[in-house]
Structure formats: structure tokens, C-alpha cells
Structure 1
Amino acid sequence: MVNSPTDTPAAAAEPVPATVPAPTEAVQIEADDAVSSLISITPSESSLTIWADRRSLDRRANVRKSPERNTPQELVVECRYSSSYSTSLASSAVDYPTEHGRRYHAFRRGAYILPNDEMEMDRLDLTHAMVCKAIGDKLYLAPLEKEKVHRILDVGTGTGIWAMEIADEFPNAEVLGNDLSAIQPTWVPTNVKFEIDDVESPWVNSKKYDYIFVRHMAGSIADWPKLVKNIFDNLNPGGWAEFHDLDGEYYSQDGSFTESHTTNYWNQKCIEACRMIGREPCPGRKIEGWVRDAGFRNVTHEQFKCPVGPWPKDPHFQEIGMMNLIQLLEGLEGFSLKLFCEVLGKTREEVLVMLAKVRLEMKTRAFHAMFDQ
């Protein structure tokens, strides 16, 4: 997975050479063979909040909908920082369908393959904590100057956890988070606003941003170059964009992860299915080229390794690996059901049997796999 080409738009007449640090592929992660071979954890007992910031998780709650279903519904958000405010949404945007036993978004139905239910929201918050840990206990990597950042956009905000935390860090900035689903919290800082929007639709807001943040949109975007160009066009001169995304293909440095593993089959089929529906599952390896083509300058590209499980000796990678394992176990069905059943033509029963084997391999340390972000 590739993380954060943090870039400035070409605001000056003179082009500025991009700076690209040496790739981190040479980093070797040693396995800790002294630990138990079986990880005792199940999705229902994984205690996601062990790893996530409890204060952040407490902020998130389901938006309360009015009972009327025939007319546009009103979502009432009660803020602890201010009085309540409301926004009107068409009922079609919040009338979430249930498929394969999970709840999915309704606005632009089918554009996003993952669920939006409580289990998925918990997984997203844990993934947020994992990514922050992986990049050095930080929310972002761009060299932002707080006095110059007045408007921030979080593309695909999900539960809104990053938007709320960045709003606390930049109290004088206006923070906007957009998403296909209205799953953001009821209590938010006064400088945060959430919108239901499709980032692949035309950007009609005339006000530009000083910082645009995009994270984990793998498998969600049909036209990445167009999205990156829209981001470039909607930044103020001197503004920054930051992309954190996945190179979701699993690999091992010691040869322990092979084609014989069901997890490898699952991983490759997920990648194949995403490409069949025109959604790139591994944008991380391509983002640097897209941002350069869009006209960004001062491009910095870094990679961060995410072990699949707590098998590394290094305590830092061991903690990231454990967080990653928990979010993967929680997310396996959500990642897989729509792709395998609707795209690859598998039955639900076939998929669940396969996922049981994947879980067993992940929990028994059958390999020392990782991916990059």
C-alpha cells in the first residue's frame, strides 16, 4: 500500500522539481518464531476499542432519522459544542438496502462495494487508528502551516473520525467531510460539516481548499486520474493534497506466503473482481504517476508496511499487525460477499467456506504476509 503523495499544486510560474525519497522496499520485517502459533481471537470477541482511541469512538453514533418515509427525511445532529442543526436528505439517500445479510449505502447504489453498518463502522475506526500508528502516530504527513490552512476537505470521510480529529488540531479551519453514507456522528466540533456526495460527480463548490485528504478509496473509484485532477483544480495556490491508499496485493519477504494458501486465492480474486467492475484495487502503486500527470509539484512518495497478524519481532510492526488482523477478521465478509457473489458468481455458502479457511490461516500464522500502504 502506498501512503501519502503529499503534493502542492503548481502555483508558481517556475516548475519545482519533485522530491521522491528512496523506496522503503528494502525494509525487512523479521518474524518472531517464539510466539504461540495460534492467535485466540474471533471477530465477535475482537474488542476493536482495545486499539482505537476510545474518545474518538465515543463520538460516533447513528444519525437519528425521522419516521416519515414518503417525504425527504430530516437528519437531526445534536452537537455538544453548539445547538442542534439539521440537513434535509431525500429518503432514497438514507433508505439503506440490506444485501447478503449486511447493510449498504443507498445514494449512488452500487458505487461502493463495502457495507455501512455498525460492524463496518467499528472496522473503519480501527483502521484509522492502525494507519495513524503505521505512519508514526500522526494524522497526516503534509508539511502544513496552521496559519495558512483555512479550509480542509476529507474525501470519503466514512465515520468522520479523521475529519473530527483534524478539526480539533486545526480549530480555526473549516473542515468538510463527504461520503455516500450518512453514518457520521451526532456530536461534532463546531468547525466540522458532513455532506452526502459522490466525489466522482462534478465538483460544483466554488470555494477552494487549502488541504484535501484522501484515504483508502481502493476499489471505490472508477476514474482516478479525473479525481486527482478535480482535487488539483479545487486547491488554492500553495495548497496541499495527501493521498493514503493501498497496494492491496499480499506478499511475504521470506517466501512463506504462497499460491497454496487460500488467503492468496482470496486476495487475488478480490483484486480480479474489483478490476472486472472498473474499480482499481491497488491504486497505491499508481498514485504518484497520477498526481504528477495532474500538475502537482513537490511530490513526496512513501511506503509503509502492514503485516497481516502480529508475527513480527519488532514491537511496532507487531502492534500494527495485530490491529490489522483484527480489522481483517472483522471485514472479511464485507470485503468479499458482493465481489464473490455478484461479480464472480459464487454462492454465499461457497464464499463462507472459503472465508473460514482464510480466517484459520490468518489466526494460525500460516504465513508472514504483509501489504503496503
Structure 2
Amino acid sequence: MRLNYPVVFPLNQISFVGEDDSEYFCQLYGRRFNVLSQTYPLPVDEEEVRRSELHHRILKFLFNGKNYVGPMKDVLAPREGKERCRILDLGTGGGFWAIDLADEFPTAEVIGVDLAPIQPREVPENCTFELCDLDQFFLPYPNEHFDVIHARFMHTGISNFPRFLNEIARMLRPGGLVILIEPDPEPIADGKTATELTRSGQPSGMRGWFALWEAYAQCLRDKGIDVKVPSQLSTLLTNTRAFDRVVTQEGNIPIGFWPKDPTALTIGQLAWMDYDIMLPALKPLFLSAGMKEWEAKKLIEEAHQDLYYPLVRPSARLHIVHAIKKATSL
């Protein structure tokens, strides 16, 4: 079992996190944040680890009990003369996906990378966690080094997503698999997005909920984050010219207790818990953007009211893309 893990900075300078990891955190408006990046907008405390676990459980239900989409087993199949397979989990959060993959593929080396040491200290022998700000020009990993690269729920920490995808292409071996999963920030009510409702002149039925997510999207824009990235994952990946067999899927995630199907109901309950935790986590972002205390409190309380007592059926949309790197990049 590994009890500590390296911090990988640019130029491959490495140090190790011990039992005292306080230097990697700071306090802001009563919540704990990472110190490596000012771009990522959310806290990195126990509540956010809980949300990371909820994301993991939601996706396992969405993927029918699996941890991934795409030809993972084929890509990681042992081949004579081939060195040990390597899996890179970017934005690993609580590390749940990396640990599960290390258990499922014990002969593979799994590396989970995040901004803060919020992962377990005791993990499978073939799993390592590293700290690195992924929003930089060059990531400190070799060319064509990984067989699988996975990134989910982390585009809000990346100011230049096309550059980030080019780095993924550089680090992935030919024939390797990339998996990208990002939530669309646009809220949905009764199957219609905010944009569709605005065009039709219909009320959303969740005024407070829609107002909060519009404020969130504006805060992201102000921080230089492209909020259209999730819906453009396939196009952005294709634009690297490094991948073929790009497969795009959408996951419609119910929020709450309204679905009749048992699996959808379970997903809806988990999503409801996710958003219940996330709403107060947005307060530091709103305050940092210049919103007054009472304004942020009112915005969050009204969104919570819509979450607790919805007049319509809220949902969210996940954009899911996987692709294989070309044998020869153009």
C-alpha cells in the first residue's frame, strides 16, 4: 500500500506529500481550496470528495455497472514484448475511478492527477496519485507514454481546452484510448434547455435554479473558461487531427425523485445529492466575483428551494466522448 504520493511540477521536479499536507490548501470564505490553481472554481474539501464519489456512482449506473466506455480491455490487453500498460486519470478528484481501474487491471500502472491531495493514502500497489496543475502549456509526462487517458468533470479548471487536448494527444500512444466526460452547464426542465425555453417564451418553472446556473456560467466566463467546451468535445478532439473513431454519446441525468424507471430513479437520487452539496460550494465563487453576501445567499437559497420543491422535472446533460489515437498523427 502506498502511504504518500509525489507532487509533479513543470520540468519534472518531484517532491512527496507526507502526513502534513496543509501547504497544499488555503481557506477562502470558510471553505478549503487548492493552492496550485486559481482557475478551478470549487473547493477541495470533504464535501467535494463526497461529490466526486457521487459522480463515480452515477456514471457506473449510467454505464451499466462499468467504469468506462470504449474498447478499454482491448487497448490494455497484454501483448508479447509490450511493456506494462499505463493509465492516466486527469482531474482524479477523490481517486475513485483510478482505484477501481487499478483493481480491475492489476497488471496496469494507474496514475491519478489532481490539484490537491484529497485521495486515499492507502491504495492498490499499482495506483499512484500525483499533484499537478493541468492548466499549463506543457504537462510533465513523456510523449506517447500512456495507453489510456481519462478526464471527467474537470474542464472548469482548464482555460485553454484545445491546448489541453493537444497535450493528451501528445502523451497518448498510437492506438491508445482517450475518454472525456463533461457536464453541460445549461440547466434543463421538462426536457427543454434554458435556451429552448427562452426562444419559445416559456417560463422554466424553476426560476431560482435557472438564475443560479446562469450566474455560475458567467463566473466561469469571467475566469476565462469556455462554457461551450462540453457540447463541443467531439469537434475539439477531432480538431487535434490525432484521433479517429471518435464516438460521441449523451447521458441525460435526471435530478430528483421523479423517474419511474428504477435505475433512472437511483441516478436521479444520486444527482439530487450531488447538487444539494454543490450549491453552497458555489458561494465562494460568487463572492470572489464581486457578488454581495446577501445576493449570493439569496441566489443559492432560491435554487435550493427549486431543488427541494420542484414544479417541473429537472435534469442535466453529460457529454461523453471516446476515441482512438491514429497510428500516425498528421
For normalisation by structure 1, the TM-score amounts to 0.72
Offset, 1:312:
1.8
Residue 69 of structure 2 corresponds to which residue in structure 1? 141
- The answer as to 2:71 corresponding to 1:125 is no
Question: Partners of 1:214 and 1:260 in 2: how far apart?
Answer: 31
- Work out whether residues 135 and 304 of structure 1, in 8 Å CA contact, stay in contact via their aligned partners in 2: no
- Work out whether residues 246 and 281 of structure 1, in 8 Å CA contact, stay in contact via their aligned partners in 2: no
Residues 352, 168 of structure 1: alpha-carbon distance in 2 compared, 3 angstrom cutoff: same
- Work out whether residues 62 and 186 of structure 1, in 8 Å CA contact, stay in contact via their aligned partners in 2: yes
Offset, 1:73:
8.7
**1:308-361: CA deviation from partner (whole Å, max 9, x where unpaired):** 212122222211111101110011111x22332122x21223212221221121
- One-letter code aligned to 1:307: P
Residue 278 of structure 1 corresponds to which residue in structure 2? 224
Question: Partners of 2:225 and 2:139 in 1: how far apart?
Answer: 20
Offset, 1:75:
3.0
Within the candidate set 198, 217, 221, 2:158 is matched to 221
Offset, 1:254:
5.6
Question: Partners of 1:306 and 1:257 in 2: how far apart?
Answer: 21
1:224-303 aligned at under 5 Å gives the runs: 224-253=161-190, 258=204, 261-295=207-241, 296-303=243-250
Question: Partners of 1:308 and 1:257 in 2: how far apart?
Answer: 19
- One-letter code aligned to 2:276: L
Residues 327, 251 of structure 1: alpha-carbon distance in 2 compared, 3 angstrom cutoff: same
Q: Which has the higher contact order (CA 8 A, sep 6+)?
A: 1
1:146-185 aligned at under 5 Å gives the runs: 146-148=76-78, 150-185=85-120
- Work out whether residues 135 and 157 of structure 2, in 8 Å CA contact, stay in contact via their aligned partners in 1: no
- Work out whether residues 219 and 285 of structure 2, in 8 Å CA contact, stay in contact via their aligned partners in 1: yes
Residue 105 of structure 1 corresponds to which residue in structure 2? 34
Question: Partners of 2:283 and 2:155 in 1: how far apart?
Answer: 17
- The answer as to 2:256 corresponding to 1:309 is yes
SS of the residue 1:188 aligns to: coil
SS of the residue 1:268 aligns to: helix
Question: Partners of 1:361 and 1:203 in 2: how far apart?
Answer: 41
- One-letter code aligned to 1:250: P
Residue 187 of structure 1 corresponds to which residue in structure 2? 122
- How many residue pairs align between the two structures? 290
Within the candidate set 274, 296, 304, 1:351 is matched to 296
Question: Partners of 1:318 and 1:257 in 2: how far apart?
Answer: 25
Question: Partners of 1:124 and 1:366 in 2: how far apart?
Answer: 28
Question: Partners of 1:212 and 1:287 in 2: how far apart?
Answer: 15
- Work out whether residues 109 and 126 of structure 2, in 8 Å CA contact, stay in contact via their aligned partners in 1: yes
Residues 73, 177 of structure 1: alpha-carbon distance in 2 compared, 3 angstrom cutoff: closer
Question: Partners of 2:185 and 2:34 in 1: how far apart?
Answer: 23
For normalisation by structure 2, the TM-score amounts to 0.81
SS of the residue 2:179 aligns to: strand
**1:280-315: CA deviation from partner (whole Å, max 9, x where unpaired):** 334220100011011210000000101121212222
Q: Which runs of 4+ in 1 moved over 6 A?
A: none
Question: Partners of 1:282 and 1:311 in 2: how far apart?
Answer: 28
SS of the residue 1:171 aligns to: coil
Residues 310, 340 of structure 1: alpha-carbon distance in 2 compared, 3 angstrom cutoff: same
Q: CA RMSD in A?
A: 2.5
- One-letter code aligned to 1:349: W
Offset, 1:117:
0.9
Within the candidate set 309, 312, 321, 1:364 is matched to 309
Offset, 1:273:
1.4
- Work out whether residues 252 and 370 of structure 1, in 8 Å CA contact, stay in contact via their aligned partners in 2: yes
Question: Partners of 2:191 and 2:165 in 1: how far apart?
Answer: 36
Residue 287 of structure 2 corresponds to which residue in structure 1? 341
Question: Partners of 1:314 and 1:287 in 2: how far apart?
Answer: 29
Residues 270, 172 of structure 1: alpha-carbon distance in 2 compared, 3 angstrom cutoff: same
Question: Partners of 1:267 and 1:137 in 2: how far apart?
Answer: 30
